[in-house]
Structure formats: C-alpha cells, structure tokens
Amino acid sequence: MRVHKLTFAVLAVAAGLSLTACQNGDDGTGQSAPSSASTASSPDGGSGSGSSDQSGGKDATGKGSAGKSTGGQGTAAGTGSNGNGKVGKCRTDELEITARDNTIDGDPDGTVTVQLKNRGGRDCAISGYAGVDLKTSAGSLSAKRTGEQANPAILKQGQSTAFGINYPVNKSGGSGVRVTGLLVTPPDETKTVTLDWPGADTLPVTDGAGSPVKVGPVGNAGQGG
C-alpha cells in the first residue's frame, strides 16, 4: 500500500511539474508574441516614418527644386534666352553696324543710313532710338530724335534693320564744320561703335540752338531708305 501511495504521489508531483512547464511555455510564447510584434512594429514604424520623410522630402524637394529650376529658367529667359518664349535684347557686340550715304538727289537734306545686322547666333529684340554723335572739327555733335514712334523688331541670325540720320547740306560756300566720324550706340546699350562718316564732308555753320542733325527710330531708314 505504501508503495502504491508513494508511486501515486510521485506521479501527481510529475503531473504538476509538467502542467507548470506547459504554462510557462504558454506564457513565454505569449510574451514573445508581443516582443515579436513590437520588433515588427519598429521596422514598420521606421519604414512608415522613413516613407513619410521620404515622401515629404520628395514633395518638398520635388516641388521646391522644380519651382527653383523653373524660376531659374524663367530668370534666364528674362535676361536673354528663348527658354520662356522671351527674346533678349540685341547687344552691341552681337551687331554688325555699318553706315552708308543714302541721299537722294534733290532732297534738301543729306541722309545717312545706319544698318544693324544680327551676328550674335541667336534671335534678339531691338526697339527705340540709337544714340548718334558726330565727331566734328568743332567738337562732338549729338543728333536729335525725330519723335517718330519706334516699332519693336525681332532680328533672327543674319537679319538686319536700319535707321536714318538726316543732316543739313552745306551750301554756304564756306568751309563749314568738318565731320570726322560717327559714333553709334544701339538702343538700350552703353557700348559705342565708331564708324567712318559716309555723308558730306561738312555741315553748315549754324547759330541756332539745338542740333541740326536728326536721327529716326530703328526700323525707319529715313529719306531715301
């Protein structure tokens, strides 16, 4: 009987130990699941955060860069490129400037036509009045604008435009004022080109105020043009 009782007690203890081990295994598994879930949520959270950051970065960088890039291109177009449908103004260095006598027999005044030819390798815009000065034996003489309306023009590579200079012919029989050169500054430019004067050698001496020499707008070759 004692043997049987001891055997039963041992079996009962073993069963109890086995049940405890199973419960610990369940608890461990239960604890490991949250730990695994927490570990899994960390990459998810990190990926989500990274994705949000990347998405936010792309949105901010993408839009910002596109805006800056577009703005940069727009600015580059405002200062002379064709990227934004705008054409930059014609620069002195891009223009081949020549002058020739264009006086018609019987006209009371003499006429010199100044031609500006686009050699810049790009389209350029030109409008307004050129600055014109005559170098004379009496000093520099600035031409006065005629007041005619200036029409804007786009010059493609190789295309030309012109304007006229009208001046009084010396019919006094005297020596007059000798013309030694012509200075031309294209519209909206500060760089001047010096040319030989192709017109009459002298201008009449005048006592009146103001310049007797007149310049028309670019696009108007003047008398005989």
β-pair type (214-215, 144-145): parallel
User: How many residues are given for the chain?
Assistant: 225
Cα(159)–Cα(182) distance, integer angstroms: 23
pLDDT of residue 84: 57
**Per-residue pLDDT at 186 exceeds 50:** yes
pLDDT band at 208 (very low <50, low <70, confident <90, very high): low
* Element at 180 (helix H, strand E): strand 177-185
pLDDT band at 15 (very low <50, low <70, confident <90, very high): very low
Cα(36)–Cα(14) distance, integer angstroms: 32
* Contact predicate 176/203, CB 8 Å: yes
**Per-residue pLDDT at 4 exceeds 70:** no
Reported as a single tens digit per residue, the pLDDT across 114-154 is 999 999 999 999 999 999 999 999 899 999 999 999 999 99
SS3 117: strand
Q: Cβ atoms within 10 A of the Cβ of 217, count? A: 20
Cα(164)–Cα(153) distance, integer angstroms: 16
pLDDT of residue 209: 64
pLDDT of residue 175: 83
**Per-residue pLDDT at 28 exceeds 70:** no
> Which residues have CB under 8 Å from 96's CB, separation 6+?
116, 117, 119
* Contact predicate 132/182, CB 8 Å: yes
pLDDT of residue 174: 78
Phi, psi of 132, deg, nearest 5: -130, 125
pTM (global) more than 0.75: no
Reported as a single tens digit per residue, the pLDDT across 39-84 is 333 333 333 333 333 333 333 333 332 232 223 322 233 334 445 5
* Element at 71 (helix H, strand E): helix 2-78
pLDDT of residue 106: 82
**Per-residue pLDDT at 165 exceeds 60:** yes
pLDDT band at 168 (very low <50, low <70, confident <90, very high): very high
Largest Cα separation within the chain, whole Å, is: 165
